[in-house]
Structure 1
Amino acid sequence: MARYRGPLDKLSRREGFNLYLKGERSYTEKTAIAKRNYAPGQHGKNNKKMTQYGIQLRSKQALKRIYGVLEKQFRKYFEEADRKAGKTDEALMQILESRLDTVVFQMGFAVNRRTARQMIRHGHFLINGKRVDIPSYRLRAGDIVEIKEGSRTIQQVKEGMELAEKLNKSPVWLDVNKDQFKGTFTRLPSLEDMDVPVNLQDIIELYSK
């Protein structure tokens, strides 16, 4: 599947805020968004007022880039969320947060979602004791994510766990046992549990046109 392989800092600059895509560096003042807080390109410094459509589009693009999801898959997620009973915005975020690559990152086993995807594809993780190498695999309540015994000493795991400890990151819907290199996806998170950096209503309105 095609993926964006360009500079990650450029994506944050395009959206106008830190998307935290580069691991530990994203949490320092060395990021490009901290040094050049304007969009990339020769017209990046122009403060042109955006239309309502432009604002909605930027919200969608930012959320897609945070989770590393392409347009076709993101639209499918939205359509699935829209069919569910309850709030569409909450259902959409639950779908994104239940992806295996996001859970691996949130558990602190990778410094970012991109690294988590690479590790998953290389077969470093077990779900309920079985190898799963699909980053978009969706977890259900009670599923146990575990790093394979032979993969627990690789550098990516070490860096992920060190960063998670520094950030004191512990989402309430995950139960992580770092000593055993495993964690449980205890439940779907609610909107109140999550720190959503974009206006989800913008995305709903954009796709509802």
Structure 2
Amino acid sequence: MAVDRTPVLKRCRSLALDPVYLGIDKKSNRNAHRSNRKLSEYGLQLREKQKAKFIYGVLEKPFRNYYAKADKMRGLTGPNLMTLLELRLDNVMFRLGYGRTRKECRQIVDHKHVLVNGKTVNIPSYQVKVGDVIEIKEKHKGSQRYKDILEVTDGRLVPAWLEADHENLKGIVKEVPTREEIDVPVNETLIVELYSK
């Protein structure tokens, strides 16, 4: 399986991205090396695509597939793409606060700790639907790991399209998120322009 092993803060600096969007509260002490060169239109579009891929932890081929799927859906391709990325199981776990970062949520899903509607799902890219109930397996609920995670993520706001029950480590997808509800600093219009060339 392909894995991106670039140091996170270094990647955040190169993409001019705040690590908070990844669930990391560290700040890089180094200043990003700024060249005086202005980014070309293609450079800007590419950077937005790289930003979206990096935030959601998606590699190029699956990202292209998401774009193709978003293009076929009714409505605008850009917001559709962001909605598809937001409804990934690992991201929903992150939004519910059951993982400090999306990478950690991905690992939790991989290790079969998660039930969707009572069935074990170990595919991080699984697309959740409205009405789906996502919870941590009963035997893992009492583990120290989740107590530590909830301690860190307790102050994090759960989006309006999700309902979280931290007592029982459970969450429900109430509705499909609109673009306004997705607080990711990505200009999806530039991604659409890049792919529609």
Q: Following TM superposition, by how much is the alpha carbon of 1:166 offset from its aligned partner in structure 2, in angstroms?
A: 2.2
The yes-or-no answer on 1:105 pairing with 2:101 is: no
User: Using the alignment, how far apart are the partners of 1:187 and 1:151 within structure 2?
Assistant: 27
3-state DSSP class of the match of 2:167?
A: helix
1:192 aligns with 2:180: yes
Q: Identify unmatched segments of 5+ residues in structure 1.
A: 39-43
Tell me how far apart the structure 2 counterparts of residues 135 and 155 of structure 1 sit (CA, whole Å): 22
- The separation in 1 between residues aligned to 2:52 and 2:31, in whole angstroms, is 19
Task: Report how far residue 5 of structure 1 moved.
Answer: 2.1
Task: Give the aligned CA root-mean-square deviation in angstroms.
Answer: 1.5
Q: Which structure 2 residue ranges, 5 or more long, are not aligned? A: none
Conserved in 2, the CA contact under 8 Å of 1:111 and 1:156?
A: no
Match of 1:15 in 2: 15
Corresponding residue of 2:126: 137
**Identity rate of aligned residues, in percent?**
43
The question of whether the paired residues in 1 share the 8 Å contact of 2:82 and 2:188 is answered with no
1:92: Cα distance to partner?
0.6
Give secondary structure in 2 for the equivalent of 1:92.
Answer: helix
The two structures have a TM-score, normalised by structure 1, of 0.89
- Deviation larger for 50-59 or 155-164: 155-164
1:84 equivalenced with 2:80 (yes/no)? no
**In the alignment, what sits opposite 1:41?**
none
The equivalent of 1:163 in structure 2 is: 152
Q: Does 1:4 align with 2:13?
A: no
Separation of aligned partners in 2, 1:202 and 1:56: 5
Q: Distance in 2 between matches of 1:20 and 1:65?
A: 13
Could you tell me whether the CA contact under 8 Å between 1:94 and 1:190 is conserved in 2?
yes
TM-score normalised to structure 2 length: 0.94
Structure 1 82/19 Cα, relative in aligned 2: closer, same or farther at 3 Å?
farther
1:56-71 alignment, distance < 5 Å: 56-71=45-60
Q: Deviations 1:140-194 (Å, cap 9, x if unpaired)?
A: 1000001011112334423332232223x11011011111110001111001212
Q: Kindly report structure 1 stretches of 4+ aligned residues shifted beyond 4 Å.
A: none
Contact between 1:144 and 1:182, CA under 8 Å: does it hold in 2?
yes
AA at the equivalent of 1:198 = V
- Is 1:31 aligned to 2:19, yes or no? no
| Map 1:121-136 → 2, pairs under 5 A | 121-136=110-125
Q: Structure 1 residues 142-151 or 157-166, which shifts more? A: 157-166
Q: How many residues align?
A: 197
Inter-partner Cα distance in structure 1 for 2:115 and 2:134 = 6
